[in-house]
Amino acid sequence: MLQTGLAALTGPSGAGLSLARAAETRAPGADLPALIRRSATPLALEAPIDSFNTPITAVERFFVRYNLPNLPGMVDLETWSLKVGGDGAEREINLSLDDLRAMPLREVVAVCQCAGNRRAMAVPPVPGVQWGDGAMGCARWRGVRLRDVLLKAGVKSDTVEVAMLGADSGRNPDLSPYAKSLPLERAMDAGTLIALEMNGAPLPLLHGFPARIIRPGWAGAYWVKHLTRLELRRKPLDGPFMTNEYRLPRGLFPVERPFVTQEDGQTSPVTELVINSLVTNYVSGDTVKLAGLVVQGVAWDGGSGVQSVEVSLDGGTHWKTALLGPDAGRFAFRLWRFPVVGIRPGILNLVVRATGNNGQVQGERTRANPGGFLLNTMQKLSLVTTA
């Protein structure tokens, strides 16, 4: 039964099946040696920076983040279904994987970035997973529009949020699943998907098999994996991942679409990603030859798209424009390169900053916050250059 379902989904290669088996019999993530283990329980695996030298991040180099210890193992696709209901729904429905696959399928290239990416650079340090720069990745996601699924259940006019529940949970006695909600408007946006595939293959187990949410431009926390249930709600969702975690001092970051039903007197929820950029082909301290030296990197934001990337060769005094690579859409990584010319051997103090089409620009300082979220200080690195 299990094999039939998976074979139908994965085609002749059966890639989904082998991944699911590997994850069952070995420690989760043991089959991903390229990733850096930041935490074993809950599982947090980071991508090394050179994973971002390509516009699409390979699945074996895509970071993994769980907030809870109990991860789903095997998924029996014969019995798996996505339940849709809640007090804002006209009716309860149950969709099998075949039901979902029979609906119109859409694709998007989008960056999944953890809100806590780059947290390790917070000054002073803040608690939480001490991510370097690699709690992110950019993939080609394929699936159905969340909107199309919600419309099948019928959306009552006083619905305010859509809650998304995963199959993973806490340990006894609190077995509540991972759950986040989106404002109805973002849930109904044509860009929000329930993905069934990542980079042209079924979702790997650790990336949410068999179905996960894709909300381009919003923090990874909303991209709920192992989706089991959607709840149209007439009241805001509470629970640890809405009320306690992923909160910012109110108004700290400008956002295009505030999540008003989740604002409180003092705090706002983390929502949209901010402009960011990184060098991906060298790390600070590398020794490099000046002849033919090209610095390469990646830039991204919350969906306005990258307008420009600038590089300084003198610690931030003078700036020159980098060359942008192909545009794979406003939610995708934008690769850039900068041929270094006109300098002498010695210490090269590089600084990089990106500007978004919405006018956001990276600065010297981070908007410090207790959770260490959305850190996007301009990256500085020193290379030792030789003739």
Ligand X SMILES: Nc1nc2c(c(=O)[nH]1)N[C@H]1C(S)=C(S)[C@@H](COP(=O)(O)O)O[C@H]1N2
- Chain residues in the site for Mo ion (CB under 5 A): 65, 114, 220-221
User: For residue 17, how many other CB atoms are within 10 A of its CB?
Assistant: 18
Smallest distance, Å, CB 249 to Mo ion? 19
Q: Which is nearer to ligand X, 178 or 253 (CB)?
A: 178
110 binds ligand X (CB under 6 A): no
Closest CB to Mo ion belongs to which residue?
114
97 binds ligand X (CB under 6 A): no
Smallest distance, Å, CB 296 to ligand X? 23
In the block, tokens 């002849």 appear at: 291
Q: Which stretch in 20-28, 66-74, 343-351, 362-370 sits in contact with ligand X by CB under 6 A?
A: 66-74
Label residue 118 left, alpha or beta by phi (over 0 means left) and psi (-120 to 50 means alpha): left
143 binds ligand X (CB under 6 A): no
251 neighbors 336 (Cβ within 8 angstroms)? no
- What does 259 interact with, of Mo ion, ligand X, none (CB < 5 to 8 A by kind)? none
Smallest distance, Å, CB 135 to ligand X? 7
331 binds ligand X (CB under 6 A): no
Of the candidates 362, 270, 251, 348, the residue with the CA atom closest to the CA atom of residue 307: 362
147 binds ligand X (CB under 6 A): no
178 binds ligand X (CB under 6 A): yes
Q: Which two tokens stand for residue 337?
A: 């390169």
Q: What's the rounded Cα separation, in Å, for the pair 145 and 105?
A: 8
41 neighbors 133 (Cβ within 8 angstroms)? no
In the chain, count of helices (H) and strands (E)?
A: 6, 24
349 neighbors 386 (Cβ within 8 angstroms)? no
3-state secondary structure of 5: helix
Smallest distance, Å, CB 218 to ligand X? 11
Q: Which is nearer to ligand X, 178 or 338 (CB)?
A: 178
223 binds ligand X (CB under 6 A): yes
Q: Across-strand partners of 163?
A: 181, 231
Q: CA 181, 38, 182: angle at the middle one, nearest 5? A: 5
353 binds ligand X (CB under 6 A): no
Q: What's the rounded Cα separation, in Å, for the pair 370 and 367?
A: 10
Q: Which is nearer to Mo ion, 5 or 220 (CB)?
A: 220
Q: Which two tokens stand for residue 208?
A: 């949410």
Smallest distance, Å, CB 221 to ligand X? 4
- What does 223 interact with, of ligand X, Mo ion, none (CB < 5 to 8 A by kind)? ligand X
- What does 298 interact with, of Mo ion, ligand X, none (CB < 5 to 8 A by kind)? none
Q: Which is nearer to Mo ion, 114 or 167 (CB)?
A: 114
224 binds ligand X (CB under 6 A): yes
Q: How many residues does the chain have?
A: 387
In the block, tokens 């006695």 appear at: 173
Smallest distance, Å, CB 221 to Mo ion? 5
- DSSP code of 34? T
In the complex, which residues of this chain contact ligand X (CB under 6 A)? Answer: 62-68, 112, 114, 166, 168, 178, 207, 220-221, 223-226
